[in-house]
Structure 1
Amino acid sequence: MRAEPAAPRQTAVLYRTNAQSRLVEDLLRRAEIPYHIVGNIRFYERKEIKDALAYLKVIVNPHDDVSLRRIINAPPRGIGPRSIEKAAGAAPPQEEEETLFTHAEGHAGGTSLWSGLNEGCATGRLTGRALEKMQTFLDLIDRMRANAGSEDVAGIVHGAIGRSGYLRKLENENSDESVDRIENLMELVAAAEDYQEAAERPTLADFVNRQSLLSEADEGDGPNDAQVWLMTLHAAKGLEFPTVAIAGVEEGLLPHQRSLDGDAAALEEERRLFYVGITRAMDRLVVTTTEQRRQWGSVKSLPESRFLEEAGLIGPWDADTPDDQIP
Structure 2
Amino acid sequence: MGSALESNRRPDLLEGLDPEQRAAATAPRGPVCVLAGAGTGKTRTITHRIAHLVRSGHVSAGQVLAVTFTARAAGEMRTRLRQLGVEAAQARTFHAAALRQLRYFWPRVVGDRQWDLIEGNKLRLVGQAANRLGMPTEVEVLRDLASEIEWAKASLVSPDDYPAVVSRLNRDVPEAPGRLAELYRTYEQLKNNAQLLDFDDLLLHTTAALEEHKAVAEEFRDRYRCFVVDEYQDVTPAQQRLLDAWLGGRDDLTVVGDANQTIYSFGGASPRPLLDFTRRFPEATVVRLERDYRSTPQVVALANRVIGAARGRPAGSRLDLVGQRPDGPPPRFAEYDDEVAEAAAVAGRIRELRDAGVPASEIAVLYRVNAQSEAYEQALSEVGIPYLVRGGERFFSRREVRQAMAALRTAAAGEPDGDLVDLVRRVLADVGLTEQPPSGGAAKERWDALLALVELAEELAATTGGATLGRFVAELDQRAAAQHPPTVEGVTLASLHAAKGLEWDAVFLVGLAEGTMPIQHADGNDEAIEEERRLFYVGVTRAREYLSLTWALARNPDGRRNRRRSRFLYGLIPEDHPAARVARSQKQTALKARCRICGGPLIATMEIKLGRCGKCPADVDEELLARLKEWRVERARELKVPAFVVFTDATLVAIAEQRPTDDSALVSISGIGATKLDRFGAEVLAVVRDCHGK
Q: TM-score, normalised by structure 1?
A: 0.38
- Name which structure has the greater RCO, CA cutoff 8 Å, separation 6+: 1
Q: Considering only CA atoms, is the larger Rg found in Structure 1 or Structure 2?
A: 2
